[in-house]
Amino acid sequence: MKKTRQSMLTPSIVRSAIKDSFVKLNPLTMMKNPVMFVVEIGTLIVLLMTVFPGYFHTEDDIGFNITVFLILLLTVLFANFAEALAEGRGKAQADSLKKTKKDITANKMVGNGIKLVSSAELRKGDIVVVAQGEMIPGDGEVISGLASVDESAITGESAPVIKEAGGDFSSVTGGTRVVSDRIVVRIAADPGESFLDRMISLVEGAKRQKTPNELALSTLLTSLTIIFLIVVVTLAPMADYLDIELQIPVLIALLVCLIPTTIGGLLSAIGIAGMDRVTQFNVLAMSGKAVEAAGDINTMILDKTGTITFGNRMASEFVAVGKESLRDTAGWAAVGSLRDETPEGRSVLELMKKQLLRYDESLAEGGEFIEFKAETRMSGIDLPDGRKVRKGAVDAVKKWVIAQGGEVPADLDAASDRIAREGGTPLAVAVDSRIYGLIYLKDTVKPGMSERFEQLRRMGIKTIMCTGDNPLTAATIAREAGVDDFIAESKPEDKIAVIRREQAEGKLVAMTGDGTNDAPALAQADVGLAMNSGTVAAKEAANMVDLDSDPSKIIEVVAIGKQLLMTRGALTTFSIANDIAKYFAIIPAMFILAIPEMNALNVMGLGSPQSAILSALIFNAIIIPLLIPLAMKGVAYKPMSASRLLGRNLVVYGLGGVIVPFIGIKLIDLFVHLWV
């Protein structure tokens, strides 16, 4: 199921972001972003010079100062708007989740009786009874019973899921509803610490912490800001010594254009949007660090069943025995499966279509369907003309045919043994006293998995499949799926061992899991993706939870992580590169009157010193909102090697970051020069 994505620019989100842009002007808030805090201080200084021109002796420059102030103010507001817009989507998502979180009456077990209490009173370890039609009052684990649970309020998936005690599908989430039967649940979280509470806090950004890479980049941007601040401050006395007059607003304009304001204004929005993109895929990341780590993954550990394969054994081949033809064998297998609604039965009909084989459906009209039973280990249909069609376990069908007075083909056992050795399941097909052949059932690889693993290979990611199957079966599936390596007959400790082995080589490892026995490996992995349908232990050990319980989604998570790193790197490259054009605009404008030779650096042919400064400032301001959609959506990611990716980014965003400002500043100057 694909979840409908929330539009990035809904009117309510934009209105809220505009309001928050002004609220974030609070210096205590702005200090968290040193680059934009410096711009805000510069804006305040120019404002004071505009309001009190006599004190600063700037009466003749009042118009220029007002213009510089307004442009600087817009620069800060645009940066705040980018962050507020990213936060707004998370808050909107959190609001919808808060509607799900409401006070529920719980049937708490006290002694030998049941007491009605509010869900807010429940504590970890309490035991509650939830019957049909009732809401599950809190996160917990089913300790008794089996029930169908509607989790659409959390996952968006309309189909109910089965929850039962003692298995890997025993975990339940507060706010979901029991639609059939009755279960006893042990509460696993105190109020305010539930899965839903954590999800609300994370998506609205209340607990978002900067990731290591984000902190490193923030440190770099702060260092560059300090260096350029020192340069600009020392420039004033040097100019005085040379009898060159440099006005304070011009120096502030130079500083703002020198420091990396573009990435400084968008950095926080990129991180928030990265978390949001994961949430849009119905994956809850416990931290931004987990998303970022996904982008650096070198090795991926995948379970076979349910991840690489469907998990249900499907028909893959018809095998005729004795003197029977393949067409007859397939035809009778299809007739016996016409009213069989199991995945196995439907797969027989799908294989018929795939192999373009025909059969007479009319034979089964009016027949009596025989359901599979553990006692007989067969299913089939009794036709109106008296013939009986059966398919099932080979030994069971052999006994049935012998009882009908028939004989077993000499090559039946050999064909059956071959399928079993290859890890498949043979089903015999018989009509009355005659065995026609076998249906080869195997756990089928999901379509497109080979292509997806090839994509991962191009990303430089090694894939390792873990399975409890024998080595022969594991090798067959691994070859068909296209994984790089496999571990057959694997146990939980084998998964931990391979993760530690890869980590010891300096690699980052991702894995998926849903059972309690997967918890140690999920905790050991750098990126552990637990299934929402899994146990509480698995979800607590992992740093990501997939609400849709789709194990193969780890591949999308890795792509999102790489997209986050690419977006941050691309916009950082663009931001630093576009400063070059601003140097050519402002530096000549500052000194051209005192040093006419500086006009040689005016390669853009800008109209006047004032128009050059204002054009550079305007471009510096408007480039931030123009890049917001890219920061929110992310740079398009295509699997390729790191060296090719670096080369592509340098060309597109490095060279582009140099060329675009030259064109933009020149176009702006054509209009500004006329006004100035």
Which positions are catalytic? 303
Q: How far apart are the first and last CA of the chain?
A: 58
Tell whether residue 354 is among the known ligand binding residues.
no
Tell me which residue has tokens 């420059």: 61
For residues 391 and 429, the answer to whether their CB atoms sit within 8 Å is yes
Residues 6+ apart with CB under 8 A from 563: 274, 277, 295, 634, 635, 636, 637
Tell whether residue 494 is among the known ligand binding residues.
no
Tell whether residue 148 is among the known ligand binding residues.
no
Tell whether residue 245 is among the known ligand binding residues.
no
- DSSP label at residue 79: H
Q: Which of 125, 94, 98 is nearest to 110 (CA)?
A: 125
Tell whether residue 450 is among the known ligand binding residues.
no
Q: Which of 211, 277, 256 is nearest to 630 (CA)?
A: 277
Tell whether residue 514 is among the known ligand binding residues.
yes
Tell whether residue 379 is among the known ligand binding residues.
yes
CB atoms under 10 Å from CB of 126, counted, come to 20
Whole-number Å distance between alpha carbons of 55 and 216? 42
Whole-number Å distance between alpha carbons of 295 and 511? 14
Q: Which of 548, 553, 537 is nearest to 139 (CA)?
A: 537
For residues 672 and 627, the answer to whether their CB atoms sit within 8 Å is no
Tell whether residue 372 is among the known ligand binding residues.
yes
Tell whether residue 378 is among the known ligand binding residues.
yes
Whole-number Å distance between alpha carbons of 525 and 516? 15
CB atoms under 10 Å from CB of 354, counted, come to 11
Q: Which two tokens stand for residue 329?
A: 């064998």
586-623 core/surface letters (b: 16 or more CB in 10 A; e: else): bbbbbbbeeeeeeeeebebebbebbbbbbbbbbbbbbb
Tell whether residue 365 is among the known ligand binding residues.
no
Whole-number Å distance between alpha carbons of 204 and 170? 29
Q: Which two tokens stand for residue 622?
A: 């408007």
310-331 core/surface letters (b: 16 or more CB in 10 A; e: else): bbebbbbebbbbeebeeebbbb
Residues 6+ apart with CB under 8 A from 330: 318, 351, 352, 355, 357, 359
Whole-number Å distance between alpha carbons of 595 and 559? 53
Which stretches of 261-384 are DSSP H helices? 261-280, 288-295, 326-335, 343-354
Whole-number Å distance between alpha carbons of 376 and 398? 12
Tell whether residue 340 is among the known ligand binding residues.
yes
Residues 6+ apart with CB under 8 A from 106: 116, 117, 118, 119, 121, 122, 128, 137, 138
Tell whether residue 223 is among the known ligand binding residues.
no
Whole-number Å distance between alpha carbons of 447 and 450? 8
Whole-number Å distance between alpha carbons of 648 and 577? 15
Tell whether residue 374 is among the known ligand binding residues.
yes
406, burial (CB in 10 Å: exposed 0-12, middle 13-18, buried 19+): middle
- The annotated binding site is made up of 340, 344, 372-379, 391, 514, 518
Annotated binding site for Mg(2+): 514, 518
Residues forming the annotated binding site for ATP? 340, 344, 372-379, 391
